Every structure is written in C-alpha cells, then in structure tokens.
Amino acid sequence: MSLDGAAAERRGTIQSVDRAARILKVLGRGSARLGVTEIAEQLGLAKGTAYGLLRTLEAQGMVEQDPDTDKYRLGPAMLQLGNAFLDNHELRGRSLLWADSLASRVGEAVRVGVLNGSTVLIVHHVFRPDNSVQILEVGASIPWHACAIGRAIVAYLGEAEVEAMLGDSPFEPLTGRTLVDPAALETALIEVATRGVAIEDQETIVGEVEIAAPVFDHRGRPVGSIGVVGPVERLHVEGTSSSLATAVKETARGLSRDMGAGRLAARG
Amino acid sequence: MRGPGLTAGPGRPEGVGHVSDVPPPATPVDAVFVRRWIRDAADEIAANRDYLTQLDAAIGDADHGINMDRGFSAVVTDLAAVDGLAPGAILVRAGSTLVNRVGGASGPLFGSFFHDAGAELGNAAEPDAEALLRALRAGLGAIQRLGAAVEGDKTIVDALAPALAGFEKELRNGGVLSDATGRAASAAREGARDTIPMEARKGRASYLGPRSVGHQDPGATSTALLLGALARAAGRPA
C-alpha cells in the first residue's frame, strides 16, 4: 500500500485531506503519542508538511500537543465526533431499550452490530447484568464470518451480495472452531435463513457463544442484527434453549418494526 | 558461556547453582515433581492475582487473575484428595479441573494445555526431560488447536512457544532438566514482555484492534508464571 497520498489522489480525492485523515488514524493506534518527525516518517511526508497538517488539526481540537514532550495525541474533538456518530446511528438509537430488556430477560450481554465491509461494527453493547467488570465493545470490528451477528445479517442479503461476501476469501480463523471454508459458511448461512437465528459456537472467542437475529428496515433490507453473547457453559449450544432463541428473535422483530419494517419484512 | 570440562555441571552456566564438580543428579519428573510444580504454580498465580487482573482490565474483562486463582485453588484442593497418581494422570486431572472450573477462554486453554500434556506423558512413573518436552509440546498443540493462535497474535502462544524452543535447545546442548526449565522460564518471561507492542489478533483484546498495543497480554503473563514454577520445581530458582 502506498503511504503517500498518490493512490488516493488518482481516485480524485484531495491529498491534504487524505493525509490529515491518515495522521488521525496513526494517532488512534494504541496509546500513540508521536512527535512530528515520527508522524512524517510513518506517512512518508516532509516534516514541514506534517507540521502544517498537525497545526491545522490542533486548531480544530482534533489533535493536541503534550506541553512537556511536544508529542501529539488525539484531541477532545475526536470524542465528540465518535459520540456524534453513535448518537446519529438510527439502529443504535432504536435498539437501546430493546437491548436492555433482552439483556435483563436472558441475564447475558447483548450486542448490536452493523455490516461494515467484511466486518461487523458493534454499535451498541449492554453488559451482562451481573455487576462484573466488562470491557465496552462498542467500536469493535469483528470479521462477519466468525460471529453470529455477522452471519445473521449476511444470510439475508441479496443473492449477489452473499456470493460476493463468500467469494472474499480466505477467511481467517479467530479460534480453532471458526468456519473458514466458503462452502461450509454457505451452508451455515442457509441454516440461519431457515431458523431465523444465527448461532455461533466459540468461533469468535474460545469459551463464548452467540445467538443473533437480523433487524430489517422499511425496505425489508437487513440493516444490522442483535444478539446475546455469553459463556458456553451457560448458553451451551447443542441444546441452545429454544427460549433463548425465541427471546432473540422476538427482540429483533420488535426492533425491526421500530425501524419501519412491515410485518412481512420483520420475518425470521 | 559453557563448554565441556567446566567446573559447573554439564550444561550449567558458570556461577549459577551448584559450584560442585559433581553434576547434579537429574531431577526425575515423578509425581512429587509434578505436584510441586502445580502447587507452586497455584501459589504464584495467587500472589499475582491482582496484577493479572489489572493487565486484563486494560484489554479484557478484568477477570483473568480471579479466574486463574479460582481454578488453580480448585486444582490443588482436588489433587490433595487423591493419592497414587502417575505424573501424567496428575496433569490430566488438573487440566480437567481447570476446564470445568475456570470461565472465559482461560479455562479451556490452560485446562487443555495440562490435560494434553498429561495424556502425552501416559502412565510413565518417571518420564525424563525429553518426555516432559514432548508433553509440553502436546499442551501447546492443544492450545493452538483451540485458539488458532500463532506467535505474534498477543496470546499465551507468545510466551509458551519460545519457552519450549528454549527448553529444547538447552536439552540439545546437553543441559539437564533444571537448565532446560530455567531457560524456558526466562524465555517465557521475555515472550510475555514482548507482547506489549503487539496488536492482538485473537481473543477479546483483538476487538480493541490497534488500541490493544502497549499492554502486556495477561495469558502470556500467566504462562510465564507457570513456567517459572516449573523451573523452581526442577530446582532452578527462576
């Protein structure tokens, strides 16, 4: 991948904006605090160019400079933008109450995700209601093929889209159980469409199971999915209780109606 | 540095351990040894419980130390109640207890490690260092089958794989069990530290993507503790 903006420019985008965006992404990595020289090196920019971009971003509050070390880090405006994204996300907004009530009904964590390329972006996460410390997974990206929320969405895409998704191999295993064979994934997707729920058994994380159902909009398109995720010893898959699957399906249907899906579209 | 004819025992670095001309007797990997390893590992995990949990809080669910401590306490209690088990059977039993008692990914992963290592030892009453190496490799294999992790993914494997490589190298150079386990322990500690700059590609930490950089992996850290306990059981302070 070219590190300067040449490739982006060829596609008719603006080089300086592309560079500024890439500076933000570099600073968004880990606990990154970087000096001008490091940033310039990483992006293959002249130091003066990097400095100008950083000063501009700083004026907008998108980066800030540590007064002691002169190093740059992300600024407070980035948090506002992130929150604005979540606040304006229709599925997330409408899912808040549904997710809470599903979590308390089944006593497990609930996640809501949308498809973003070949990954699922978690836009809402309700902790398992047991007062334990848990990490907030909002913003996490999980390969669609390895998680129930991903398969629940893809199973209801159009035929051509499904074919394209399945053709986008190789699929990386996240655990030893992750389905990575396109034919096996296709079978799994057909099963999802038959049952109305996707079930994933320790394919994302060892020891964790997820059951998810699709959410549809007014056009009957799958806009995302909602799922229950928890330890295999409680949600054991073999006999995944029909009551759990029912709870997930009912929640997804209710959320679909809120999203404007007609009765027919809010199937599953 | 070491070489044949040095005053220290074969394969033993100068100035460390015994200062005698007589090579130390090879520690047998018997039931006493294995029980000492497990008990020491449990103590080590208990002493580091809060530290492990703290590491986990940065990139996981902040329950790693608590889970591991609960699991190893259960293992020690369970093993105290049974006598006459061969080394392999002790490890198999410890593994099963961990799988059953530890939640999250740690139970299945560390449990399968001990279980498969024990199964590899079979019924031998006093397997040698080579057999122990094969057993630990079987344990690593179990972890990789379950987790699909390779070195560099920021997992247990990043401590365990280099540890076993060091173990093997030491044996090939003529080292005895205490040398091999000592080398494995230091390689595991380094391996755990080396996870700090890595971006997690497996487990919940991978959800954080680039934000997982800058934190030491709790599973790799626990692995280093287990191998430190193994080195101590073999008579080499680690």
* Per-residue pLDDT reduced to its tens digit, A154-183: 999 999 999 999 999 899 999 999 999 999
Q: What percent of chain A has pLDDT over 70?
A: 91
> Do the bridges between strand A72-74 and strand A109-116 make them parallel or antiparallel, or are there none, so unpaired?
unpaired
Q: What is the pLDDT of residues B137-147, one digit of tens each?
A: 999 999 999 99
Q: What is the pLDDT of residues A9-30, one digit of tens each?
A: 557 889 999 999 999 988 987 6
Sequence-ordered alpha helix ranges (H) in chain A: 6-10, 15-27, 36-43, 47-59, 76-87, 90-106, 148-154, 159-167, 182-195, 232-235, 242-258
Which SS3 state, helix, strand or coil, does residue A257 take? Answer: helix
Q: Indicate the pLDDT class of residue B26, thresholds 50, 70 and 90.
A: low
What span, in angstroms and rounded, lies between the C-alpha atoms of B193 and B221? 8
Binary contact (B105, A207; C-beta < 8 A) = yes
Q: Indicate the pLDDT class of residue B13, thresholds 50, 70 and 90.
A: very low
A232 touches A201 (CB < 8 A) = yes
A170 touches chain B (CB under 8 A): no
Q: Which residue of chain A has the CA closest to B108?
A: A207
pLDDT value at position A31?
A: 64
pLDDT value at position A134?
A: 85
Which SS3 state, helix, strand or coil, does residue A263 take? Answer: coil
pLDDT value at position A235?
A: 84
Residues in chain B: 238
Q: Indicate the pLDDT class of residue A7, thresholds 50, 70 and 90.
A: low
* pLDDT higher than threshold 90 for residue B5: no
Q: Which of B108, B144, B213 sits opposite A29 (nearest CB)?
A: B213
Residue A262 contacts by C-beta under 8 Å, 6 or more apart in sequence? Answer: A218, A220
Return residues 124-163 of A near B (CB < 8 Å): 132-135, 137, 140-142
CA distance A242 to chain B (A): 23
Q: What is the pTM of this model?
A: 0.83
Binary contact (A176, B147; C-beta < 8 A) = yes
What span, in angstroms and rounded, lies between the C-alpha atoms of B70 and B67? 5
Return residues 207-236 of A near B (CB < 8 Å): 207-208, 231, 233
What span, in angstroms and rounded, lies between the C-alpha atoms of B33 and B135? 15
pLDDT value at position A86?
A: 84
| Number of CB atoms found within 10 A of residue B179's CB | 29
Q: What one-character-per-residue DSSP string does B54-122 give? A: HHHHHHS-S-HHHHHHHHHHHHHHHHHT--S--HHHHHHHHHHHHHHH--TTHHHHHHHHHHHHHHHHT
* pLDDT higher than threshold 50 for residue A5: no
Which token pair is A129? 């209601």
What span, in angstroms and rounded, lies between the C-alpha atoms of A27 and A43? 12
Tell me which of B236 and A138 has the higher pLDDT. A138
> Do the bridges between strand A222-231 and strand A109-116 make them parallel or antiparallel, or are there none, so unpaired?
antiparallel
What span, in angstroms and rounded, lies between the C-alpha atoms of B205 and B216? 11
Packing angle, helices B129-147 and B106-121, rounded to 10: 140
User: Which is it for the CA torsion A53, A56, A60, A64, positive or negative?
Assistant: positive
What span, in angstroms and rounded, lies between the C-alpha atoms of B52 and B70? 13
DSSP state of B12: -
* pLDDT higher than threshold 80 for residue A263: no
Q: Which of B103, B147, B207 sits opposite A142 (nearest CB)?
A: B207
Report the pLDDT averaged over residues B51-63: 91
A208 touches B147 (CB < 8 A) = no
Binary contact (A176, B105; C-beta < 8 A) = no
Contact residues, chain B, for A31 at CB < 8 Å: 211, 213-214
CA distance B134 to chain A (A): 22
Binary contact (A30, B212; C-beta < 8 A) = yes
Q: Which of B60, B144, B210 sits opposite A30 (nearest CB)?
A: B210
Tell me which of A5 and A203 has the higher pLDDT. A203
Calculated CA dihedral for residues B98, B103, B104, B108, nearest 10 degrees? 30
- Whether complex ipTM tops 0.85: no
Interface test with A, best of B52, B100, B207, B208 (most A CBs within 10 A): B207
